Amino acid sequence: MGVSEEVETAGKRTRLSAEKRRALLVDLGVEWLASRPLEEITPEGLAEAAGVSSGLMFYYFGTRQGLHAEILHAAAQKLWSAIDPPEKMPPHARIYYMLMTAVNYAAANNALFWAINQSMYSFEPQIRDATLPVREDAIEYVCSALFEMGVPDVPAIRVCVRTWVITVESLLRNQFQLRHKDPRNPENLDTSLISSILEHSLFGMIDTSLTWTRSRANEESVTSHLAATQGA
């Protein structure tokens, strides 16, 4: 893929804007990320493949880390576009749709999914900030769907959802890495089974949290009643 300064459309050559050339370079970086580690993507290598100068790469992205952050951000947005459910779906169906499409995306794009997830744990803030918003969007989306279903908006539920989303990321990352390394491993699970396990785990966590909260409220009510009775 070359990123020349001009493109030919209907027999006419049109000069690409700086934003368009920059976007094409990022797209090329995402393509590379699907087949090689992030550390192997350099401004010089991308420039050579795209047919532009290394100086232009540093002009657009500043540093190698800046380039990596842009590539990761674009990859994360691509993931979110793939799993974002249609708004007209009922809330429970939206959760399952997002989960199932995330499972299928991770299975089909394991290297990209791995890179996005790993970047969320980077020591470099610029790299973390490139992809963490997608996790936050997923957490908020699941919370909103649960609240539409009548689940109360309390801290315990938000903690459950955050824990669950991170668990989903970890399971998908490890499951499909395992499948890639050893397709015959008996621990390779069917994608439908993975989706079902994860869906049930979410509602199991929610149910446990609500049951504990109600039980605690009842205990506090009884304790308050006994204290009032004894003080009378």
Lowest mean pLDDT across 14-28, 79-93, 200-214, 218-232: 218-232
Specify the pLDDT at position 3.
Answer: 58
Q: Which amino acid is at 13?
A: R
Nearest to 9 by CA among 23, 52, 20: 20
Nearest to 154 by CA among 212, 198, 112: 212
Alpha carbon distance 115, 73 (integer Å): 11
Query: What crossing angle do the helices spanning 54-61 and 64-83 adopt, rounded to 10°?
Result: 70
Report helix, strand or coil for 200. helix
Beta bridge partners of 13: 8
Average pLDDT, the chain: 86
Buried b (16+ CB within 10 A) or exposed e, 126-146: bbeebbbebbeebbebbbebb
Domains plus CATH for the chain? 6-62 (1.10.10), 75-231 (1.10.357.10)
Structure confidence by residue, pLDDT tens digits, 34-93: 999 999 999 999 999 999 999 999 999 999 999 999 999 999 999 999 998 887 899 999
Contact assessment for residue 206 and residue 164, using Cβ atoms and an 8 Å cutoff: no
Give residue for tokens 């990761």: 72
Nearest to 71 by CA among 27, 37, 109: 27
Please check the confidence at residue 10 and state whether its pLDDT lies above 50: no
Q: How many residues does the chain have?
A: 232
CB neighbours of residue 9 within 10 Å: 8
Please check the confidence at residue 232 and state whether its pLDDT lies above 90: no
